[in-house]
Amino acid sequence: MQKNKQQQLQNIWDVAGAPLNPDHIDMEKALKRVMHHVKPTIWYQTPFFVYWQRSAAILLLPLLLGSLYLALSAKRNQTAPQPTPPALLEISTPYGTHIKMHLPDGSSAWLNGGSHLKYPATFAPGKRTVLLCGEAYFEVRSDPNNPFIVQTKGLEVEATGTAFNVEAYRRDSLVTVTMAVGEITVRIAGPTPPIAMKPGERMAYNLENKRYNIQSTDAYKWYAWKDGLIVFRDDPLEYVFKKIGQTFNIEIEVKDSSISQHLYRATFEDESMDEILRLLAMSAPIRYKYFDRKKGEDGHYLKQRIEVYRD
């Protein structure tokens, strides 16, 4: 602790009295010097673009020759054995949180609580495939030659440049896909032909009876979680509690069927679970019964359980 304090004092002292003026440090010049030393194996698009602008005319010929060579060598390589698939990276989120991440192709993904996403460090040409367990919202960078594919249990979603939400939690028998922007194709395992979906549509696929239906919906409410919101729009109370339970990994059961179908409208922003439950109880005739968390056989605590009764 003492050492910590000493360091903080020193840190403030250093920053307050830096002996150099930061404006006199020429970062661009230094970068040029260092980049001279760097021999990249991958170039980013930006430096290449700048380079291209400066010397478009000179580059044209070598570029043509280059692409010719690539085209020819690609043909020759067609018979070569397929390279082994690259190792997958995995990202997991704890319950009650959500994160935003960037995929190697420049697409963005928001991962909701209690989810896992696997993706390769670099996408192989042809297909950009990721594996999802749980819920995620994707904003896919447009690239028609390399379709973006989300594989999840029971189905896969193919997109080129779109935004959509996929919900496929392990213990749920329902997988849903909600479209925000663009076009996607959903392929269900088995003989069902591919299904094209448009913005504002939501598909629910039942893994048990292998049936699906598509409805028009207010798409945002299904992926508002990515902005820290939980949105309900005339949803039955039973669903409201299921969603809250899923978000915070607790078990909530509505014990009185006369209230379970009450419709509810609300938007919660970055609220804690206790606060949400309190607000719900203020606006609906309900009360809660909390159960102590029990220890399971392996010593771990089981999920908190809450029952909801009519007040």
Which residues contact another protein (rule: CB under 8 A)? 3-20, 22, 24-25, 27, 30-31, 33-35, 37-38, 40-47, 89, 91, 96-102, 104, 121-122, 228, 247, 270-272
Least distance from C-beta 278 to another protein, angstroms?
15
Cβ distance to another protein smaller for residue 140 or 203: 140
Q: Map tokens 């909530």 to a residue.
A: 252
> DSSP letters of 208-258?
TTTEEEEEE--THHHHGGGGTEEEEEEEEHHHHHHHHHHHHT-EEEE--HH
What amino acid is encoded at 13 in this protein? W
Torsion of CA 187, 180, 264, 134, to 10 degrees: 50
Least distance from C-beta 248 to another protein, angstroms?
9
Least distance from C-beta 154 to another protein, angstroms?
28
Q: Are 175 and 208 in contact (CB under 8 A)?
A: no
Least distance from C-beta 152 to another protein, angstroms?
21
Cβ distance to another protein smaller for residue 6 or 261: 6
Cβ distance to another protein smaller for residue 10 or 206: 10
126 Cβ contact list (under 8 Å, min separation 6): 146
Least distance from C-beta 165 to another protein, angstroms?
18
| Three-state SS at 187 | strand
Cβ distance to another protein smaller for residue 31 or 189: 31
Cβ distance to another protein smaller for residue 23 or 234: 23
DSSP 8-state assignment for residue 309: E
Least distance from C-beta 228 to another protein, angstroms?
6
Cβ distance to another protein smaller for residue 96 or 182: 96
Q: How far apart are CA 29 and CA 150, in angstroms?
A: 43
